[in-house]
Structures are given as structure tokens and as C-alpha cells.
Amino acid sequence: MTELRKVLSRYQKRCKYTLIDEADKIIIDTVKSRYYTYGGGIIPLIMKGALTEVSMYGEDPEHGLNTRIRPDALNFQENIGVNAIISLKTTSSTSLEKFKRDCLKYRYEVTEGFYQDVATNVTGRKFNATIMIMIQTVVPFHVAVFWWGPDSIEAGKYRANIAKSIIAECFEKDSFPGYEAKAPAGNFGIYELELPDWALTEELPVSIED
């Protein structure tokens, strides 16, 4: 029996397929159907001719830093009219509003702006569009397509550029500080801890009756 388990384990490692139960198959079929029918079939059109998971290596022209990106997909003007970064995002958000808040929370605009700049520098093509495809991993297992507006992407590029400036300065000075970098200058990394105003309100006496 032990030898049989070893043989089975070897075959499992070699097999490129995964067994799924009926409940998971229903979910997969639901997402797949919505992927192909959303917006009258816009997602397959967006992905037509796209290159997926291509690593791109370059050097930032302003700061001299080595850069690397691996976007979920790239598509080109010849196929869809624009040179675009395509990002696929799975989410446990149960609504579009929650997903949008998560985009702000995780600063996706910084990543997307950085991806556009690196892809432009490496390929010589002007990447000026970012399309995000959202796929829910929770009920109701919907999909949605977002287009990042230019103002948001420019804000992301600006924030990414600030981050690159800080990184370049760290390499130049051979100093990579932690949280002390955000402390007031001259404080040796020491922060003053204060209660917020709302926590300083007077506590009213509590009447305890027998």
C-alpha cells in the first residue's frame, strides 16, 4: 500500500489537471459564462491577440533603477485600437462599491501607472490605457470591466515616481531606514504619541444604584 501511494504521488505531480467537485464546477461554469457574455462579449474582444504574463525588464531613465513588470496581459493598437495594460483582479468584494474602495485602499493606481511607464520604456510603444477585469470569488460570482481614467493613472505615476526617488536616494546613501524615516527631522526616529481630540473629552460620572 505504501508503494502504491508513492506511485500515485508521482503521477499526481506529473499531472497538469486538478480534480474539482460538483459545487466548484458550477462556480467555474458560472464565471466562465459571464466572462464570455458580459457587455455583449466585450472581454474576449479585449483579450483577442493579447500577450499574457510577459516579463519585461528595463532601466528607469530618470533614476537609473532596474525595473521589472509582469502584467497579466498586454494588448496592442493593432488589435484593440490602443496599447493597453490589462489587469485581472479576483476579489472577495460583494459589490462594485466595495471593489472600488479596495482599489483605493491597495493603491492600484500606483502599480498601473508604473506598469504603463515601464512598458512604454521597454517597448518604445506609448502605453496609455489600462483595463481592469474584475472577477468575483464570492456570490454572485460576477465579472466587471473598468477603464482607468487618465487623471488617476497620472496620479499613480506621480506617486510611483516619488517612491523611485526615495529608493534611488537610499541606494546613493547606502541607507535603508524603516519607520524612523517618517519621524520629525532631528528626533532620532522618536515619535510623540498623543490621544486624538475625541479621546480627550471629559468622562461623565457614572451613577451606580443598588
User: Using CA atoms, how far apart are residues 96 and 138, in angstroms rounded to an integer?
Assistant: 13
Question: Please, what sign has the CA dihedral across residues 116, 121, 127, 131?
Answer: negative
Residue 135's nearest CA partner among 43, 25, 23, 22 is 43
Q: Can you give the pLDDT at residue 34?
A: 95
Residue 75 lies in a domain: yes
Q: Can you give the pLDDT at residue 210?
A: 61
Q: Which residues of the chain have pLDDT under 50?
A: none
pTM of the model: 0.81
Residue 160 lies in a domain: yes
The CATH number that applies at residue 71 is 3.90.320.10
Residue 124 lies in a domain: yes
Residue 118 lies in a domain: yes
State the cell numbers at 190: 522618536
Q: Can you give the pLDDT at residue 18?
A: 77
Residue 86's nearest CA partner among 58, 119, 123, 57 is 119
User: Using CA atoms, how far apart are residues 34 and 40, in angstroms rounded to an integer?
Assistant: 10
Q: Can you give the pLDDT at residue 2?
A: 76
User: Using CA atoms, how far apart are residues 131 and 60, in angstroms rounded to an integer?
Assistant: 23
Residue 126 lies in a domain: yes
Residue 199 lies in a domain: no
Per-residue exposure over 88-122, b if at least 16 CB sit within 10 Å of its own CB, e if not: bbebebeeeeebeeebeeeebbbbbbbbbbbbebb
Q: Can you give the pLDDT at residue 1?
A: 64
Q: Can you give the pLDDT at residue 9?
A: 81
Residue 162 lies in a domain: yes
Alpha helix (H) residue ranges in 48-95: 77-80
Give me the amino acid identity at 99: F
Residue 48 lies in a domain: yes
- Domain hosting 120: range is 12-179
| Structural domains of the chain, count | 1
